[in-house]
Amino acid sequence: MFQIIICITVKLSEKTRTHCSYTTKVISYSQLVLQKGLGSQCQRLNHGTAGRASPSPSIPFIFVLASQRCRMNDDTGADYLTPWQLSECVDGGGVGVVESSRCSTCTEGDAVTSFNWPWQTYAVMKGSVLQKVDPQLVDGHLSYFLGAVGITGLTALLGVREKGNVTKGANQTMVVSGAAGACGSIAGQIGRLDGCVRVVGICGSNDKCRALVEDLGFSAAINYHQEDVHTRLKECCPDGIDVYFDNVGGAISDTVITQMNNGGHVILCGQISQYNKDVPYPPPLSEEIKETLRSKNISRERFMVLNYMNKADAALCELSQWVKSSQIKVLETMANGIENMGDAFCSMMKGGNIGKQIIKIS
């Protein structure tokens, strides 16, 4: 039996790829693609292919994140990131519910995630690219698998554990830039739970500062748009800075590094302030900052969570327990409808989100 599905597919436009600037319209989402439904397609699927993940009854979610900006370049700067292709469907992380399947590992009603979820309302996907997840781990909040109990939470937890050298009883101070974003908001809470006596967040609005302190338990927050970061760091970190979770790079990170203690640790997670520039990743540092790192014996190493996936299962269990017990609070900014993905992406790149930027497909 034939079924026609009207499917909105998000594609990368020539203008975006040429100029590579999120200040222009990043995504063209006006195209409607007609597809034959599963009634006809299943006859051509291999047994290793799962059926389409449907937005009903459980509506799937897709996330956008800053590193996807790099996928608009011919060279993404990372081996694990492939460039988006012109006129091809854009993909990224997503979670959904299997509606129909001929795959032995996926059955109807299963919740599944993938790093290669197409930005469209329906999809026929190979079972090999889907990972089944247990909704009980997130008390039914499926979008948490894209954030706090997913790759974002793993990045925060393993970044702090593997590169931060946080030690209970050591009277350490942590600073987090991009602190109200998806990863920073989780990393700061983990720093506190792991033993930092002071956690200070740097973000871009008073609302974000309030959320960090009142909702997430940060010791203090700095609005870099309205406050002098150097002066406020002196006030908020009287004993200096021992651990810096760096999500932004640029001038803010330079200011933080100059106030770090001897033997401190920089967790190099992201450099969003540099993603629109034609520079290698990680971006080069000034000679002054290089000398500060050397003279104070401050470690600054690139962190890639994919290098630590052997620790993922245990880490996800720990994150799940923290979230379910409310020891970690989850912040999300939710946009409704695939037609708003472009705007959500641009807003996220300009700091419009608090917590993970999620798109609910409707």
Angle (CA) 66-159-259 rounded to 5° is 90
Contacts for 84 with CB less than 8 Å, ≥ 6 apart = 12, 17, 71, 72, 90, 91
Mean pLDDT for 53-70 is: 56
Q: 260-264 long-range contacts, Cβ below 8 Å, gap at least 24? A: 260/292, 260/296, 260/298, 261/296, 262/296, 262/297, 262/298, 263/296, 263/297, 263/298, 264/240, 264/296, 264/298, 264/299
Gap between the Cα atoms of 114 and 348, Å rounded: 21
Instruction: Provide the pLDDT for residue 89.
Output: 78
Instruction: Provide the pLDDT for residue 70.
Output: 67
**Band of pLDDT at residue 78, cut at 50, 70 and 90:** low
- Which of the two residues, 123 and 99, has the higher pLDDT score? 99
Task: Name residue, tokens 């419009």.
Answer: 352
Six-digit token string for 73: 């370049």
Instruction: Provide the pLDDT for residue 120.
Output: 78
Instruction: Provide the pLDDT for residue 268.
Output: 92
Mean pLDDT for 337-347 is: 84
- Which of the two residues, 357 and 13, has the higher pLDDT score? 357
CB atoms within 10 A of CB 79: 8
Q: Is the pTM of this model over 0.85?
A: no
Gap between the Cα atoms of 65 and 55, Å rounded: 21
CB 256 within 8 A of CB 175: yes
Contacts for 323 with CB less than 8 Å, ≥ 6 apart = 138, 139, 144, 148, 149, 330
Mean pLDDT for 288-312 is: 94
Instruction: Provide the pLDDT for residue 67.
Output: 66
- Kindly tell me if the per-residue pLDDT of 131 is higher than 80: yes
CA-wise closest residue to 128 among 47, 63, 231: 47
Gap between the Cα atoms of 226 and 143, Å rounded: 32
Gap between the Cα atoms of 324 and 138, Å rounded: 7
Gap between the Cα atoms of 180 and 201, Å rounded: 8
Instruction: Provide the pLDDT for residue 33.
Output: 28
